[in-house]
Amino acid sequence: MKLGARIIKTGIAITLAIYIASLFNLPSPVFAGISAVFALQPSVYRSYQTILEQFQANVLGAVFAVIFTLTFGNSPVIIGLTCVVVIALALRFHMGADVAIALVTIISIMEYAGEDFLQFALLRFATIMVGLICASILNIIFLPPKYETKLYHNIAENTEEIIKWIRLSIRQASDHTALKEEITKLKEDHIKLRYFYLLYKEERSYFRRSNTAKARKLVLFRQMISTTNRSFETLKYLNRLENQLHHVPEDLQEMIKNELDCLVTYHEQILLKCIGKVKNQTPSNVLEEVKKNKLLLMSKFMECREENDEESYSRWIQLMKLISSITDYSDKLEHLDLLVESFLKYHKDENELHIEDKKEH
Q: Where are the alpha helices (DSSP H) in 142-249?
A: 147-170, 176-202, 208-240, 242-245
Instruction: Pick the closest to residue 323 from 348, 307, 304, 342 (CA basis).
Output: 304
**pTM for this one?**
0.73
CA angle, 238 as apex, 234 and 243 as ends, to 5°?
A: 160
Q: Are residues 46 and 28 in the same domain?
A: yes
Q: Are residues 38 and 123 in the same domain?
A: yes
| pLDDT at residue 359 in the model | 52
Task: Provide the CA 56 distance to its chain's centre, in angstroms.
Answer: 28
Q: Domain boundary at 113, 141, 169, which?
A: 141
Q: Are residues 205 and 237 in the same domain?
A: yes
Domain tally for the chain?
2
Residue 277, domain extent:
147-351
* Separation between Cα atoms, residue 279 and residue 127, nearest integer Å: 56
Residue 174 located in a structural domain: yes
Mean pLDDT per 10-residue section of the chain, whose length is 361 residues: 70 91 89 86 72 87 93 91 92 80 91 84 92 84 76 92 93 84 91 88 66 84 95 92 81 87 91 78 67 80 66 70 91 91 72 60 45
pLDDT in tens, 40-81: 777 767 777 778 888 888 999 999 999 999 999 889 999 999
Quote the crossing angle between the two packed helices 30-39 and 44-72, to the nearest 10°: 130
Which pLDDT does position 289 carry in this prediction? 78
Report how far residue 158's alpha carbon sits from residue 196's, in angstroms, rounded to the nearest whole number.
13
> Which CATH number belongs to the domain containing residue 302 in this structure?
1.20.58.220
**109 and 65 in contact (C-beta within 8 Å)?**
yes
329 plus 195 within the same structural domain: yes
Determine the number of helices (DSSP H) and then strands (DSSP E) in the chain.
14, 0
Q: How big is the chain by its Cα radius of gyration, in Å?
A: 28
The helix/strand/coil state of 173 is: coil
Residues 72 and 152 in one domain: no
- Residues 322/234, Cβ–Cβ less than 8 Å: yes
Neighbours of 320 (CB within 10 A): 13
Can you say whether the dihedral through the CA atoms of 321, 327, 333, 336 is positive or negative?
negative
- Tell me whether residue 361 is in a domain: no
